[in-house]
Amino acid sequence: KQEVTQIPAALSVPEGENLVLNCSFTDSAIYNLQWFRQDPGKGLTSLLLIQSSQREQTSGRLNASLDKSSGRSTLYIAASQPGDSATYLCASLRLNTNAGKSTFGDGTTLTVKP
Amino acid sequence: DAGITQSPRHKVTETGTPVTLRCHQTENHRYMYWYRQDPGHGLRLIHYSYGVKDTDKGEVSDGYSVSRSKTEDFLLTLESATSSQTSVYFCAIRTDYNSPLHFGNGTRLTVT
């Protein structure tokens, strides 16, 4: 059974700092990896999807990497801003014809202080 | 905006009553999912659909049923609501098994 772990559970940084959020998983064989952000009381917003055959994806100040051999993904946020404050979740998405199985981490709650 | 609408956004109901939540999508995605999100448990899959009339159970399906009679609508029914089903329910969609998940804004359900 796939397990996804995100450490730390909470992180507080001053504005402008670069930071890395971690996601580890136990079964890397046939999964894509997706990062989301969730603001309080809101739904999940997709940030980046790394397909199983890829090593990284970039969008603006965000860069996500995937290392299947070590079972880890990282989300790098450059030049953090107070607006980046949110909970960040990673999820492994199974690749098969039914595409039913997805496993989510519990998230890292990020606070960026002005 | 992934074209997902969940209704209602908020609902309060009494124990033992039936409740139906609706997820509507406008972009013809094949896969649709229902999740619940609870403090301490994260997001858990209830049921999902991989086509019209094709559904399967997730990890927390007991007490829930689903139906998908049209591509655009996926209904989640609590046949007899219990207090343990108080939660935030999210619908998600996916074009194919290699594409990203996109979520709706959620339905906050309180069972008293």
Record: contact B101-A51, CB cut-off 8 A:
no
Record: contact A95-B33, CB cut-off 8 A:
no
Which residues in chain B have Cβ-Cβ distances shorter than 8 Å to A86? none
Percent of chain A beyond pLDDT 90?
Answer: 72
Q: How many CB atoms lie within 10 A of CB B86?
A: 16
pLDDT score at B65: 97
- Say if residues B41 and A105 touch (Cβ distance below 8 Å): no
Any idea what DSSP says for residue A114? -
pLDDT score at A27: 78
Each residue's pLDDT tens digit, A1-43: 788 999 999 999 999 999 999 999 987 666 899 999 999 989 9
Amino acid in the structure at residue B43: L
Place of tokens 């995100």: A6
- Say if residues A88 and A37 touch (Cβ distance below 8 Å): yes
Give the number of beta-carbon pairs within 8 Å between A and B.
Answer: 62
Choose between A96 and A112: higher pLDDT: A112
In DSSP terms, B35 is beta-bridged to: B45, B90
Each residue's pLDDT tens digit, B22-68: 999 998 899 999 999 998 888 999 999 989 999 999 989 999 999 99
State the nearest Cα–Cα gap between A70 and chain B, in angstroms. Answer: 22
HEC string of B35-67? EEEECCCEEEEEEEEEECCEEEECCCCCCEEEE
pLDDT confidence bin for A72, thresholds 50/70/90: very high
Record: contact A91-B101, CB cut-off 8 A:
yes
- pLDDT of B2 strictly over 90: no
Mean pLDDT (chain B, rounded) = 94
Q: What's chain B's Rg over C-alpha atoms?
A: 13
pLDDT score at A2: 80
Q: What's chain A's Rg over C-alpha atoms?
A: 14
Which residues in chain A have Cβ-Cβ distances shorter than 8 Å to B58? 100
Record: contact A104-B42, CB cut-off 8 A:
yes
State the nearest Cα–Cα gap between A64 and chain B, in angstroms. Answer: 14
Whole-number Å distance between alpha carbons of A40 and A21: 19
3-state DSSP call for residue A47? strand
Nearest to A88, CA basis, from A6, A4, A18, A2: A6
pLDDT score at B12: 97
Strand bridging mode B107-111 / B54-57: unpaired
Each residue's pLDDT tens digit, A33-70: 999 999 998 999 999 999 988 999 999 999 999 998 89
Record: contact B97-A102, CB cut-off 8 A:
no
pLDDT score at A75: 97
